[in-house]
Amino acid sequence: MNTSVTTVGIIGAGAIGQAMARQLTRAGIDVILSNSRGPASLAALAGQLGPRASAGTVRQAAATDIVFVSVNWSRLEEALHGIDWQGRILIDATNPVLLPGFRLAELGGRNSSQVVAGLAPGARVVKAFNTLLAAVLASDPGQDGGRRVVFLSGDDQAAKSTVAGLIERLGFAGIDLGSLAVGGTLQQFPGGPLPAANLVKLG
């Protein structure tokens, strides 16, 4: 189990970002929450999450061990722009959904994780935590004698290993789907077959 991660930055403090923050702080990991409106808008939420949570700027969140991004697709390019991503692990929990109507965004023949990788040059992108609803993600990963499954995919094996260790540390069961091209497509919502699957690994 990888226990070296001490701080995770969260870009996008909506329902998914908040659910992830709760799981991380429960596991003894510090989080820096950020959004487009600035730290003052997140002070109350950070207070509710306890001493391991703090509010920061997007750049402060992006300077941590692992960066978790869960912004609305329409704001993704703006959120990732201007940050030095070189060598950083970026957990892509986004889905290429346009509202209203839950329409699939135009991806130019790529899947959404490949688009994210293009918007964050140099980042070691791992797709994970995008297939569970926020309420499910926030709930106890231990279910019916097993552990709730989190899928992950990516092209950097070391980054995937680190994220897999984090998944285990949070109490989930990680299933590696391979590369961004293959796994990212399977995980994508809308379009992929896995976002509707809430699975529990027994044993």
Domain edges within the chain: 7-202
> For position 80, what pLDDT does the model report?
97
Whole-angstrom distance, CA of residue 94 vs CA of residue 71: 6
Given a cut of 50, whether residue 2 has pLDDT beyond it is no
Whole-angstrom distance, CA of residue 55 vs CA of residue 34: 6
Given a cut of 50, whether residue 1 has pLDDT beyond it is no
| pTM score, whole prediction | 0.96
* CB atoms closer than 10 angstroms to residue 29: 21
Given a cut of 60, whether residue 114 has pLDDT beyond it is yes
Percent of the chain with pLDDT over 90: 89
- What CATH fold (topology level) applies to the domain 7-202? Rossmann fold (3.40.50)
How does pLDDT run across 9-44, given as a tens digit for each residue? 999 999 999 999 999 999 999 999 999 999 999 999
